[in-house]
Amino acid sequence: MAEKTLNPFEIVQSQIKEACDALGETQEVYEMLKQPKSCMEVAIPVRMDNGELKIFEGFRSLHSDAVGPGKGGIRYHQNVSRDEVKALSAWMTFKCSVAGIPYGGGKGGIIVDPREMSKGEIERMSRKFVELIYPVIGEKVDIPAPDVNTTPEIMGWMVDEFCKLEGEQRIGVFTGKPLAIGGSLARFEATGYGVALMMKEAFRVKNIDMKGATVSVQGFGNVGRFAALYAQEMGAKVIAVSDVSCALVNEDGIDIAALYEYVNIPENKNMIKGFEGAREYDRDSIYDMKVDLFAPCALENSITSETVKRLDAKIVVEGANGPTTPEADKVLQEREILLVPDILSNGGGVMVSYFEWVQNLQGYYWSFEEVQEKQEVKMVNAFNDIYKLMEERNVTMRVAAFMMAIKRVADAMRCKGWVK
Ligand SMILES: NC(=O)C1=CN([C@@H]2O[C@H](COP(=O)(O)OP(=O)(O)OC[C@H]3O[C@@H](n4cnc5c(N)ncnc54)[C@H](OP(=O)(O)O)[C@@H]3O)[C@@H](O)[C@H]2O)C=CC1
Ligand SMILES: O=C(O)CCC(=O)C(=O)O
């Protein structure tokens, strides 16, 4: 039977409800958290290269600013919707809370397939989007960053546009910027590096030696490729990866560094298809790999009540936001597969975005090693705290992460007198 809903906003609401119930939280807290504080919708006019005027639909949602300014990426994708952006902004609130950084949650998105646009068109659209959401973003208001199909280069255009409107340098308003204009070392690698750190912790608690442990990774974008690279560096054998073009399989381990170079060759269009060091299958074959650990690093609703039947793994570490549906969550729990939830495992990106913002505000910059060391300490501590709570309360790791996150946000709302 098909699942009742794959709407990410309904999914995040059910996750909030479950954690509020487990915490014995008040109805007021649930009511405050179950929807964003605001969600701006904009129509973005863009003059295309052929002279035609096209209007794109965009959103910026601020879920909560109880703990601090909103924080979260901007996504360019044809399947972006208002509900998706609202859900992603809520996950950001809880992710920042789990990471222990002083932010609330925000997220933006434009309904667009950037593959069909020239670089000039993407730049004009990005600048116009900033002009339109200018009233609701700011260094101490809501701080965007990259997400699916958005890059440091795009952040560079956006921060330039914002500073023009502001009339002064306010570079902390966007993170994930190029290094030359205030980006942080180790931000580009941060989300995938964090996913690999969480793989290491999950192997440790499951008593599996990471050296030689088998891993499959869905998605070979910013998150997937660095998760695979660092996992390999930590000793794991990455036997399968996929993107929209195909799945690649090599039981002896794929040479991820070589694949990384391959996708960066311009004629390969950022896709893994055609790489010679592995066999090629259709992209969804990634679900059929027998592995110790599966890392979904693409989009929402990857592990559903259908695809979960195909998984043969002991651990799932979520690199993407919202890759597992609630029904699939239950099946993983019944099968005693350890799931390290997105709001913990992909929190490395926003954590290093926070470090970038701190460096911008103080005008003093750290080394690559310093950033990664700080990231590792914070993420490993968060893993241990959540794992302990999971054991104490006999809940899943996802529920434990939401419980920890919601408690911190609820405490902040109480201190401000917003809820009882
Ligand atoms: N970037 C960041 O810092 C953070 C990102 N995230 C989340 O991680 C996920 C990935 O983001 P990011 O890596 O930045 O995005 P990218 O756009 O860089 O990469 C997305 C990847 O997913 C692939 N993909 C899309 N659909 C499928 C599919 N059906 N099967 C297999 N692969 C697929 C894309 O393939 P192709 O390129 O061929 O289209 C691409 O390789 C998202 O959920 C995002 O919200 C979470 C935290 C931080
Ligand atoms: O780096 C950031 O601020 C946000 C990254 C993001 O969008 C996410 O974690 O989903």
Beta bridge partners of residue 41, listed in sequence order: 59
Which ligand 1 atom is at minimum distance from the Cα of 342? 46
pLDDT above 90: residue 174: yes
Q: Residue 302 Cα, ligand 1 centroid: separation in angstroms?
A: 12
Most ligand 1 atoms within 8 A of CB, residue of 107, 297, 300 to mutate: 297
| Atom number in ligand 1 closest to CA 176 | 3
- Check if the beta carbon of residue 244 is closer than 8 Å to that of residue 226: no
pLDDT range class, residue 6, cuts 50, 70, 90 = confident
* Phi, psi (rounded to 5 degrees) for 306: -85, -55
Per the annotation, does 207 bind a ligand? no
- Residues 163-177, mean pLDDT to the nearest whole number: 98
Each residue's pLDDT tens digit, 218-230: 999 999 999 999 9
| For residues 214-221, average pLDDT | 98
Give the closest ligand to the alpha carbon of residue 346.
1
Mode of pairing for the β-strands spanning 105-111 and 53-64: antiparallel
* pLDDT given for residue 352 in this prediction: 98
Distance CA 231, CA 226 (A): 8
The preferred substitution site among 191, 297, 375 for testing ligand 2, maximizing ligand atoms within 8 Å of CB, is: 191
- Ligand found nearest the CA of 318: 1
Region 202-216: what's the mean pLDDT? 98
Pairing outcome for strands 315-317 and 293-296: parallel
The tokens for 65 are: 């600013």
- pLDDT attached to residue 5: 66
Confidence of residue 1 (pLDDT cuts 50, 70, 90): very low
420 is in an annotated binding site: no
The model's pLDDT over 9-56, given as tens digits with 9 standing for 90+, comes to: 999 999 999 999 999 999 999 999 999 999 999 999 999 999 999 999
In the chain, CATH 3.40.50.720 sits at 188-336
CATH topology for 37-170 is Rossmann fold (3.40.50)
User: Which of 306, 303, 327, 305 shows the shortest CA–CA distance to 316?
Assistant: 303
Mean pLDDT, the chain, rounded, equals 97
pLDDT in tens, 65-111: 999 999 999 999 999 999 999 999 999 999 999 999 999 999 999 99
Confirm or deny that 325 is annotated as ligand binding: no
What does the DSSP assignment read for 50-66? TS-EEEEEEEEEEEE-S
Measure the CA–CA gap between 191 and 103, rounded to whole angstroms.
17
The pLDDT score that the predictor gives to residue 138 is 98
**Do residues 356 and 187 lie in contact, with contact meaning Cβ atoms separated by under 8 Å?**
yes
Q: Which part of the chain has CATH 3.40.50.10860?
A: 37-170
What phi and psi values does residue 240 have, to the nearest 5 degrees? -150, 140
The interface predicted TM-score (ipTM) is 0.98
Which pLDDT tens digit goes with each residue over 330-340? 999 999 999 99
Q: Please tell me the distance from the alpha carbon of residue 21 to that of residue 392, in angstroms, as a whole number.
A: 16
d(CA 314, CA 337): 5
Looking at ligand 2, which atom is closest to the CA of residue 143? 3
The catalytic residues are 107
Q: What pLDDT shows up at residue 2? A: 57
- How confident is the model over 232-261, as pLDDT tens digits? 999 999 999 999 999 999 999 999 999 999
Sheet holding 70-77, edge to edge: 38-47, 53-64, 105-111, 70-77, 142-146
What average pLDDT does range 152-159 have in this prediction?
Answer: 98
| Pocket of ligand 2 contains residue 350 by CB under 6 Å | yes
Q: 297 alpha carbon to ligand 1 midpoint, in Å? A: 6
CA of 147 to the centre of ligand 2 (A): 6
Q: What is the DSSP letter of 184?
A: P
Contact yes or no for 296/289 (Cβ under 8 A): no
φ, ψ dihedrals at 355, nearest 5°: -60, -40
- Choose the CATH number for 188-336 among 3.40.50.720, 3.40.50.11540, 3.30.390.50, 3.30.930.10: 3.40.50.720
CA 75–ligand 2 middle distance (angstroms): 10
Distance 253 CA to ligand 2 centre (A): 30
pLDDT surpassing 90 at residue 4: no
Quick one: which atom of ligand 1 is closest to the CA of 247? 31
- Residue range 356-382, pLDDT digits in tens: 999 999 999 999 999 999 999 999 999
Query: Which atom of ligand 1 is closest in space to residue 145's alpha carbon?
Result: 3
| 72 CB near ligand 2 (under 6 Å) | yes
Pick the ligand that lies closest to the CA of residue 194. 1
Give CA–CA dist 266/285, Å, rounded. 26
Mutate to test the pocket of ligand 1, among 107, 299, 300 (most ligand atoms within 8 A of CB): 299
Q: How far is the CA of 164 from the centre of ligand 1 (A)?
A: 31
